[in-house]
């Protein structure tokens, strides 16, 4: 009798064990045994293809028929998951090649070079301090802050006296990219115009984006002008009345975008580019008007060829590195 009851109990336990075995929890437990928890592998000491085959064989013995379609699909995807895990482990442990090291070196040089270039490049979007010329005669002057000598040739009426004009109000002779007006102690070149003479300023070294301040150009009854050429593009940066004669802002002449006009006009213009000289004509007579010249404090010489080569090599490294990162992996 006792043996009969123990047999029945054993049979019930086996049935219950089979039901649990077929349940999702039981199957997940067997999946864990087939695979691993964390870094501990529960398979025998196998590696490579034999380990993968062992795991697939182990998974193939699971009672998948009692699972829903979603869980079955996940089990079918296990081999692909194993392959992706192995690929990630190999990629993480792989050492960079000599080519990749050189690419990173070029990229580093490029980043440093571009940072230096952006630090020293002239910024035309905001006001910049201007170093203005000091004229010692009607043909010679210096931009002392930049160590540049300037010479002037052409029509003239001498230089102004010390302290004249005042170059005020400040808002007339500074604004836009021009951070400050000329000092009254720097003098100016006086002109009367009315000839076809070409007036020319020559710099002892190339100057980037030079600035010209114009005072009392023309009068209320007759406009006068500075006529430049296509190689001297400019933009008006400021303008308004002068403290000496009032007046108004200079303006681009109607019908000639290469000329700046004024009817008792005052203001500043800036040339775009790098210049060794600037030339113009003053076709209209008026007694008298004047100008002085200056340049941004941070923009003088053209970059050395070696600097250009450094920047170019850095850019090549950056581009090659970005191209390699963007390439699809096999």
Assess contact for 227 and 278: CB atoms under 8 A: no
* Residues 50 and 159 placed together within one structural domain of the fold: no
Residues 250 and 219 in one domain: yes
pLDDT score recorded for residue 221: 86
Comparing CA positions, the residue from 249, 241, 247 lying closest to residue 269 is 249
For residue 87, pLDDT over 70 is answered with no
Please provide residue 112's backbone torsions phi and psi, each rounded to the nearest 5 degrees.
-65, -45
- Does 290 lie in the same domain as 226? yes
Say if strands 199-208 and 40-41 run parallel, antiparallel, or are unpaired.
Answer: unpaired
Sign of CA dihedral 118, 122, 126, 128: positive
Q: What is the mean pLDDT of residues 252-276?
A: 96
Give mean pLDDT, residues 99-111: 51
For the residues of 24-80, what is the DSSP string, one character each? HHHHHHHHHHHSEETTEE-S-S--THHHHHHHHHHHHTS-GGGS-HHHHHHHHTHHH
Q: For the chain, what is the domain count? A: 3
Say yes or no: 144 and 287 in one domain.
yes
Nearest Cα to Cα of residue 191 among 236, 224, 148: 224
Higher pLDDT, 118 or 274: 274
> Are residues 147 and 281 located together in one domain of the fold?
yes
Q: Is the pLDDT of residue 307 over 80?
A: no
Q: Which domain holds residue 108?
A: 98-121+305-326
Residues 137 and 285 in one domain: yes
| Mean pLDDT over the full length of the chain | 75
* In a shared domain, residues 319 and 257: no
The pTM score is: 0.56
189 pLDDT higher than 60: yes
- Mean pLDDT for the stretch of residues 118-143: 79
pLDDT of residue 298: 74
pLDDT 10s digits, 274-289: 999 999 999 999 999 9
- Does 86 score more than 70 pLDDT? no
Same domain for 68 and 33, yes or no, is: yes
pLDDT greater than 70 at residue 232: yes
Shortest CA distance to 142 belongs to which of 228, 234, 205? 205
Q: Are residues 113 and 225 in the same domain?
A: no
- How large is the average pLDDT for residues 130-153? 94
Q: Are residues 269 and 177 in the same domain?
A: yes
Report whether pLDDT(122) > 80: no
- pLDDT exceeds cutoff 70 at 28: no
Is 71 a residue whose pLDDT tops 90? no
Say yes or no: 111 and 24 in one domain. no
Rounded CA separation 10/8 (Å): 5
Residues 83 and 180 both lie in one domain: no
Q: What is the pLDDT of residue 78?
A: 47
């Amino acid at each position: 009798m006792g043996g009969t009851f123990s047999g029945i109990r054993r049979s019930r336990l086996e049935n219950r064990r089979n039901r649990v075995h077929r349940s999702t929890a039981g199957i997940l437990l067997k999946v864990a045994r087939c695979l691993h928890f964390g870094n501990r592998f529960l398979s025998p000491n196998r590696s490579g293809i034999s380990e993968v085959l062992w795991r697939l064989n182990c998974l193939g013995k699971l009672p998948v028929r009692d699972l829903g379609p979603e869980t079955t699909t996940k089990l079918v995807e296990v081999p692909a998951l194993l392959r992706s895990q192995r690929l990630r482990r190999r990629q993480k442990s792989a050492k960079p090649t000599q080519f990749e090291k050189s690419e990173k070196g070029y990229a580093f040089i490029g980043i440093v070079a571009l940072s230096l270039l952006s630090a020293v490049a002239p910024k035309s979007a905001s006001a910049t301090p201007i170093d203005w010329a000091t004229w010692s005669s009607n043909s010679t002057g210096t931009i002392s802050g930049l160590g540049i000598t300037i010479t002037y040739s052409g029509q003239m009426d001498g230089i102004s006296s010390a302290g004249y004009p005042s170059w005020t109000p400040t808002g007339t002779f500074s604004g836009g990219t021009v951070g400050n007006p000329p000092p009254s102690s720097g003098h100016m070149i006086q002109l009367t115009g009315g000839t076809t003479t070409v007036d020319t300023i020559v710099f002892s070294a190339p100057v980037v984006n030079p600035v010209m301040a114009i005072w009392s150009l023309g009068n209320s009854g007759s406009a006068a002008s500075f006529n430049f050429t296509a190689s001297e593009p400019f933009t008006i940066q400021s303008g308004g009345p002068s403290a000496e004669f009032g007046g108004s802002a200079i303006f681009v002449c109607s019908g000639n975008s290469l000329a700046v006009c004024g009817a008792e006009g005052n203001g500043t213009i800036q040339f775009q580019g790098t210049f060794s000289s600037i030339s113009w004509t003053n076709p209209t007579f008026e007694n008298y008007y004047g100008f002085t010249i200056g340049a941004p404090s941070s923009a003088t010489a053209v970059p050395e060829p070696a600097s250009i080569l450094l920047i170019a090599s850095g850019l090549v490294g950056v581009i090659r590195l970005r191209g390699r990162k963007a390439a699809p992996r096999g």
